[in-house]
Amino acid sequence: MCGLAGIARHEPRGVPDEVLRRMAAALRHRGPDGYGIYAGRRVGLAHTRLSIIDLVSGAQPLTNEDGRIVIVYNGEVYNYIELRRELEPLGHRFRTQSDTEVLVHAYEQWGERMLERLNGQFALAIYDRRDESLFLARDRFGVRPLFYALHGGDLLFGSEVKAILAAGEIAAAPDPAGLDEVFTFWAARAPRTPFRGVHQLEPGACARWRDGRLTTARWYALHYESVAAEPADALATLDTLMRDSVRLRMRADVPVGGYLSGGLDSSITCALAAAASPHDLRTFSVSFDDPALDESDFQREVAAGVKSRHAVQQIGRREIAAVFPEVVRHAETPLVRTAPAPMFLLSRLTRDQGIKVVLTGEGSDELFLGYDIFKETAVRLFCLRQPASTARPKLLDRLYPYLAQGTGGAARGGEFWRKFFLAAAAPGDPLFSHLPRFALTSRIREFYSDDVKREAGRRDVVDELRQSVPSGFMGWRPEHRAAWLEMDTLLASYLLSSQGDRMGLAHGIEGRFPFLDHRLYEFTSRLPVGSKLRGMHEKVILRRWARGIVPPRVLARHKQPYRAPDIPAFMDAGRPGYVDEMLGEPALRASGLFDPAAVGGLLRRCRDGRATGFAENQAFVAILSTQLWHDAFIRDFTPPAPLPADRADVRLDDSAAAPPSLEPLLH
């Protein structure tokens, strides 16, 4: 995996070599194995490389034969071998064995439509010297990030916001709408970010910059069109797709390992990876001191079953608090939970064990309706169809049994608990499934300072989401609407980034996601809801298929959400000094985002051990992480020193390309 960055100039005044080396330095963690730049009059590109495919000659930026198409690229296109076989007979000559070079020629051959042919996870920037334009694109599900900012007709872009800031041409400021989205959906929705004037390309989107203007378009969109009955060959199709998806994702010139949570999804990916791997599979897990969060019993069972060499990262409260500022610096956004921190520690362990690439189970819960929110949606609708029924609402008490531990139990909350869910939304509301969660998360906004509250009152991010659902949305099954919302608001913007890309690449670890093969998504999007969620049973067809692949005990398990300690991680007597500093009145006044009296009230309840509910745990983590984020990027952003010029593997400029006037001589 890699990092990319660059600047496109409205006027051809060049991008200094030193600026590009500083942008590359900001992304060094993503690509510790090498770096390169292209310093042209119109466009400058920077790339940091994590070598995975073609370790010898895959350095970037890379050009086509005549140097008129220049690419920097972050990701993997798994079907690059098949694409190369298509391109060679069409006259394209290859100098390397890399997937990057396949993209250059694919772009030459098919233009922007090449994206539809790619199976993979990628962000790319292609400088097309033929018309001095720049083409940006991001994969279908947004596995790999791409941020950009327009500044006086110039375009600055990068895999992370810190690369854009490192150029020293724009200053960071909070975006109130972006913060509102984080404190409603858990993350800002693309194209928004928490930074004013900094945007992210949407998943499945591409953009063309030319003459100082940027035009964006979607090249892939999520869609559901389920059939009435499960096709007779559904299991066979699922089997083919799952195995092929894993087979493609084992392509690498370094050993591929696996993250193992102990749940169904990663047990499947690890089992298939072990069968396909030429090496002994390496697996990696997090284990929690808190037995309510720990799944190590299941992890050990699966690891033994697939005969992997297994390594465990133990997580207590102190480990989370110790790395949390670094986690925020990598995530580049306020967080509403600490769950990214264990993933940060896990990628460090994985790197230290010599592995660069891991398969993980992300995406399965979205595709096969695994999350509790889908059951919650079905149960709420079931209750609202018979409002007078007193028996139906009792199903809600069964929804979150793990929350009952140590609280006296949700069942004791009885009527109140049920009413919270049943009164939260009308069935005809496009956001029906998610409004209870949005309402709960939005309580963070009650801690805003008066200034931010005034600013926030001018917009309604929930209604913006409501207005942005695709045409035909209300014709989909309610569970599929919920799946779309889950993917739109959370998958790319939080799970694949704050818990995924940013935590893995903090230590040069590339995650690969067999469940996010678009062929598999499209297959599941056409299945009837009942093939995925039936009553209170989730991932029905996946469980049927996985018999004989994962241990029976794992197969019989119900989904356990991945959680990490929140407030308790920061309340130990030996907590790091930054916690009190960041939540103290001077720091709160300096950022101006939260009301010091309200935060003081929260701290009092934390010290008294009373702040045990969701709302206050989210508020605490949100406020602390926002303060850390503000401190790292807005109050005191220090650009890194440029990478040394003599260490670059690639240094190109416009002379790498044949000048247009010489073109006739070359033919």
Given the rule CB under 8 A, which residues bind other proteins? 407-408, 410-417, 419-420, 423, 439-440, 443, 446-447, 595, 597-598, 601-602, 604-605, 610, 612-615, 619
Q: Write out the DSSP string of 240-254.
A: HHHHHHHHHHT--SS
**Dihedral angle at the C-alpha atoms of 411, 413, 419, 421, nearest 10 degrees?**
-60
DSSP state, residue 139: -
Smallest separation, CB 23 to other proteins (Å): 40
Q: Is 270 a catalytic residue?
A: no
Q: Among residues 306 and 606, whose Cβ is nearest to other proteins?
A: 606
Smallest separation, CB 455 to other proteins (Å): 16
Smallest separation, CB 383 to other proteins (Å): 15
Smallest separation, CB 403 to other proteins (Å): 8
Smallest separation, CB 391 to other proteins (Å): 16
CA distances (Å), origin 386, targets 113, 375, 379, 382, 420: 50, 17, 11, 7, 17
Q: Among residues 608 and 646, whose Cβ is nearest to other proteins?
A: 608
Please check whether residue 303 is in contact with residue 552, taking contact to mean a CB–CB distance below 8 angstroms: no
> Which residues have C-beta within 8 Å of that of residue 297, sequence separation ≥ 6?
262
Choose the catalytic residue: 2, 206, 383, 606: 2
Burial tier of 116 (Cβ tally within 10 Å: 0-12, 13-18, 19+)? exposed
By C-alpha distance, which of 595, 614, 630 is closest to 446? 595
Tokens representing residue 146 in the block: 């791409």
Q: Among residues 197 and 414, whose Cβ is nearest to other proteins?
A: 414
Q: Among residues 544 and 604, whose Cβ is nearest to other proteins?
A: 604
Q: Among residues 362 and 376, whose Cβ is nearest to other proteins?
A: 376
Please check whether residue 533 is in contact with residue 371, taking contact to mean a CB–CB distance below 8 angstroms: no
CA distances (Å), origin 371, targets 185, 530, 539: 16, 15, 9
d(CA 136, CA 158): 10
**Rg (Cα) of the chain, in Å, rounded?**
25
Smallest separation, CB 437 to other proteins (Å): 12
Smallest separation, CB 182 to other proteins (Å): 17
Q: Among residues 423 and 645, whose Cβ is nearest to other proteins?
A: 423
Q: SS3 for 290? A: coil
Smallest separation, CB 604 to other proteins (Å): 8
d(CA 363, CA 361): 6
- Report the Cα–Cα distance between both ends of the chain, in Å, rounded: 37
Smallest separation, CB 393 to other proteins (Å): 13
The single-letter code of the amino acid at 400 is Y
Provide φ and ψ at 297, rounded to 5°: -55, -50
> Which residues have C-beta within 8 Å of that of residue 546, sequence separation ≥ 6?
264, 267, 268, 555
d(CA 619, CA 596): 13
d(CA 400, CA 396): 8
Please check whether residue 185 is in contact with residue 197, taking contact to mean a CB–CB distance below 8 angstroms: no
**Dihedral angle at the C-alpha atoms of 343, 344, 348, 353, nearest 10 degrees?**
10
Please check whether residue 124 is in contact with residue 5, taking contact to mean a CB–CB distance below 8 angstroms: no
Please check whether residue 339 is in contact with residue 563, taking contact to mean a CB–CB distance below 8 angstroms: yes
By C-alpha distance, which of 475, 456, 472, 454 is closest to 464? 456
Q: Write out the DSSP string of 587-633.
A: HHHHH-SB-HHHHHHHHHHHHTT---SHHHHHHHHHHHHHHHHIIII
Please check whether residue 257 is in contact with residue 350, taking contact to mean a CB–CB distance below 8 angstroms: yes
Between β-strands 120-128 and 69-77, what pairing exists: parallel, antiparallel or unpaired? antiparallel
Please check whether residue 47 is in contact with residue 4, taking contact to mean a CB–CB distance below 8 angstroms: yes
Smallest separation, CB 445 to other proteins (Å): 10
Provide φ and ψ at 413, rounded to 5°: -75, -15
Smallest separation, CB 614 to other proteins (Å): 7
The angle subtended at Cα 161 by Cα 160 and Cα 164, nearest 5°, is 105
Smallest separation, CB 489 to other proteins (Å): 21
Residue 210, CB half-sphere, CA atoms under 13 Å: how many? 11
User: Which residue carries 């992370």 as its tokens?
Assistant: 160
Q: Among residues 191 and 584, whose Cβ is nearest to other proteins?
A: 584
Q: Among residues 524 and 617, whose Cβ is nearest to other proteins?
A: 617
Q: Among residues 322 and 439, whose Cβ is nearest to other proteins?
A: 439
Tokens representing residue 498 in the block: 């704050």
Q: Among residues 404 and 658, whose Cβ is nearest to other proteins?
A: 404
d(CA 406, CA 169): 52
Residues acting as catalytic residues: 2
